[in-house]
Structure 1
């Protein structure tokens, strides 16, 4: 039986919601222990900050991004509030005016850049420090101090207690989407085919997971392995592949006559099954942290050009669906090849940590296990496409 590892990325991904609940609960317990044992005044703000930072973000990059923005906003808002409180004998209404001016600037900033959360925290901290404007500087300082304690506890807990990396989450979502696209693409060329409801459910899941990947861009960038531009290009290619598969599913069944012509094209099904297998292999390599080494065969349209573009219905009408269907297959192969090329050029995408853990979860075959021992970048010889 494989030895349990606390930093196992596959285990942490599979149970990420449960682990995040445990992590956040422990972080809150630590925060309460700190403020109660030290008898810190105005300590309510500390656990509130811990909970706000961790929230529903189970991964390191997201909490670092949110926590650093909260720290920045807290420091700037606290400094602004302290400066206002230190004004000697302020004229009537000056404190309120300067407070509202700072908040107005912060609110405007939330719409103009990616530091919107920092700007929001600036305004919240400023209101905490100013309070009712009674010029009690000690209250302002203690409130800001509690926010800093709670934020730091949240960041440290996320990084040390069964950490879940946003990079791993992005990788597994990408691999799972490639697996599902392979299944959809293969199923509509085989018998029995997927039911329309199952097909629609798979497409819904793929689209939802694409949105999740887009929301992870800043968090993954914070972890320093992949940059925002690289992630954006990956998501753009993936989105086009999803659209192409969806169009393929619809075009295939445009008319019965067109479908019969498509079925009669010699070699087409073999080429489609090969591409579906390559998609599954690509998902396997992404998931297990291997170097991306796979050749995608391009569709040869010339072989079927005459049959497709001279297609006629029984009534003699020209049929456009066979030609469109062939073109979409070629586009999917081209897009998959482009994705393979892009992934293979990402120097920091392969992961020795994932390759080691994949063997413990039987995601890598015995043959590949021996190859990995001799060469950490060895190509997979397995055609398995296990999901997480």
Structure 2
């Protein structure tokens, strides 16, 4: 099955009611933690509840909870291990402070890159262990155990109770973005448009949709083994959408500099008609990404070439040699190239297979 295969009714239902379901899942995870505390009281169990809230509060997707759990486990283990090592090696407060300072300097240096949350957790875990004094080693062990328990509960509830797959949310956002860009593209190229389109609000909304896709990429790769090799392609897909939106915004404001340039541009009506086919293809790809269309749209590699040939011929015939007309033609061509690249990336991702 393709990564863009139709979602089940159950998956669609979860996505439509995600806020309510998310509240239920966090409540259930906390209830499990408190029931365990009642049955098997252990020190520092509050860290279990804290871990559940931190992991699940802003990450309802399975991949997101898994990613943050792994980083928290790694940070806790390394921070606690280094703190215990310092307590075991020396009781000298000056030497302990120096060793801790070196670790914090390293964490600060690396915290802005990948695994930033793991470095953050390692830093404050180290401080908690060292500030615990004589009880620091025991506290580190119990705190590590209760945090691991919280991570396990968060992963279990995220995975097994009404799971929301980041892959589904990502592809539905992609379909929404493609549909919105198609609407803007075709509206702008309509022969009935006689003044610049007011697109700022719609562009901003689509930009938020694209940024939301970017925020889901780590979760998508984390929960889907089949998409992990396509990390660069997923990133490129977001970047191409951003470039498309920029070009569409420029196009929407570039037609009516003055009456002469408007007339020169309107003479390129045939180009607009040819370019509109690319917008229709965007709509077809949006339906495919959303799972509304089972078959991948057929390749149309010659569309961009035809558009380029038509623009060159039209500009050669222009007697006014309007700079605005040349710029407008260049923007249309560049947008068509980005749309073609979008199709190529989606087509490449469509050949990947879902995880069993």
1:212, distance to aligned residue in structure 2 (A): 1.8
Q: Does the C-alpha gap of structure 1 residues 197 and 8 become closer, same or farther in structure 2, counting only changes over 3 Å?
A: farther
Cα deviation code 1:264-323 (max 9, x no counterpart): 43533432332221110111111118453333423434445455455466xxxx412223
Larger helix percent = 2
Q: Does the C-alpha gap of structure 1 residues 208 and 140 become closer, same or farther in structure 2, counting only changes over 3 Å?
A: same
Q: Does the C-alpha gap of structure 1 residues 25 and 99 become closer, same or farther in structure 2, counting only changes over 3 Å?
A: same
Structure 1 residue corresponding to 2:280, chosen from 266, 277, 280: 277
Distance 1:125 1:187 in 2: 55
* Partner SS, residue 188 of structure 1: helix
CA contact (8 A) 1:343 1:349 kept: no
Give the CA RMSD over aligned residues.
2.9
Q: What does 1:32-43 align with in structure 2 at a 5 Å threshold?
A: 32-43=34-45
Distance 2:283 2:325 in 1: 26
1:93, distance to aligned residue in structure 2 (A): 3.3
TM-score, scaled to structure 1:
0.79
Distance 1:196 1:30 in 2: 58
Q: What does 1:128-143 align with in structure 2 at a 5 Å threshold?
A: 128-143=128-143
Q: Does the C-alpha gap of structure 1 residues 191 and 168 become closer, same or farther in structure 2, counting only changes over 3 Å?
A: same
Distance 1:196 1:320 in 2: 18
Cα deviation code 1:322-358 (max 9, x no counterpart): 23222322332232222222222225556699xxxxx
Q: Does the C-alpha gap of structure 1 residues 193 and 199 become closer, same or farther in structure 2, counting only changes over 3 Å?
A: farther
Size of the alignment, in residue pairs?
343
1:114, distance to aligned residue in structure 2 (A): 0.5
Cα deviation code 1:174-228 (max 9, x no counterpart): 1111100011111123376599786211100111122222222222221223232
Q: Which sections of structure 1, spanning at least 5 residues, go unmatched?
A: 354-388
Distance 1:105 1:302 in 2: 57
Q: Does the C-alpha gap of structure 1 residues 38 and 135 become closer, same or farther in structure 2, counting only changes over 3 Å?
A: closer
Higher relative contact order, structure no. (Cα contacts within 8 Å, ≥ 6 residues apart) = 2
Cα deviation code 1:49-81 (max 9, x no counterpart): 111112311212222111101001111112222
Q: What does 1:1-388 align with in structure 2 at a 5 Å threshold?
A: 8-87=10-89, 90-111=91-112, 113-190=113-190, 199-223=199-223, 224-226=225-227, 227-288=230-291, 290=294, 292-296=296-300, 297-298=303-304, 299-303=306-310, 305=312, 307-309=314-316, 311=318, 318-346=321-349, 348-349=351-352
CA contact (8 A) 1:130 1:140 kept: no
Cα deviation code 1:143-174 (max 9, x no counterpart): 22111111221122111222122222221111
Q: Which sections of structure 2, spanning at least 5 residues, go unmatched?
A: 1-6
TM-score, scaled to structure 2:
0.85
CA contact (8 A) 1:309 1:320 kept: no
Which deviates more from structure 2 when the two are superposed, residues 274-283 or residues 239-248? 239-248
